[in-house]
Amino acid sequence: MERGEFDNLRGAGKPLNLDDDPHTPDDWKLAYKILKDAGGAPEWIEQGKEIRAELQALATFLEQQTRWQRERGARLASLSPDQQLAERARLADARERAARVYRERAAALNKMIDTFNLKVPDVSLQLPRVRIEEELRRFQEACAQ
């Protein structure tokens, strides 16, 4: 290789042509070619992008809620005992609302993930489901700090 014996091969310096994928069923090859030529992607790839975006949005939602809870909790010491009691109740209500919203969004996302996992052409491309209760437990613990 160092002597340059492979420098003059046909196709040198050009991208590989991977259009003839042996794992793609024959009846899907034309559809994939049309999608590729039009700049599109198979449905499962587009759905995977949506899922990843929603996963990020859910993580951001919990991060924002945690930050807000901590900021409000840090102010408790400057309040009177009666105000502290009222503020703690408001924080608990807000945590419950955030948990309810997260649970609903994550459950809907898990349904999307289940559908996605049935569509992908290989099991190695499947995505894990959101562990809702585990994430909410971490959220509650983070808010308590």
pLDDT given for residue 29 in this prediction: 73
Q: Is residue 56 part of a domain?
A: yes
Q: Is residue 131 part of a domain?
A: yes
Q: Which of 42, 40, 47, 24 is nearest to 127 (CA)?
A: 47
- What's the structural domain count of the chain? 1
What average pLDDT score do residues 38-65 get? Answer: 91
Q: Is residue 11 part of a domain?
A: no
Q: Is residue 95 part of a domain?
A: yes
Q: Is residue 10 part of a domain?
A: no
Q: Is residue 107 part of a domain?
A: yes
Q: Which residue range is the domain that position 115 belongs to?
A: 26-144
Q: Is residue 87 part of a domain?
A: yes
pLDDT given for residue 30 in this prediction: 75
Of the two residues 81 and 26, the one the predictor is more confident about is 81
pLDDT given for residue 97 in this prediction: 97
Q: How far is CA 129 from CA 50, 53, 103, 118, in A?
A: 14, 14, 13, 13
Give 111's pLDDT tier (boundaries 50, 70, 90).
Answer: very high
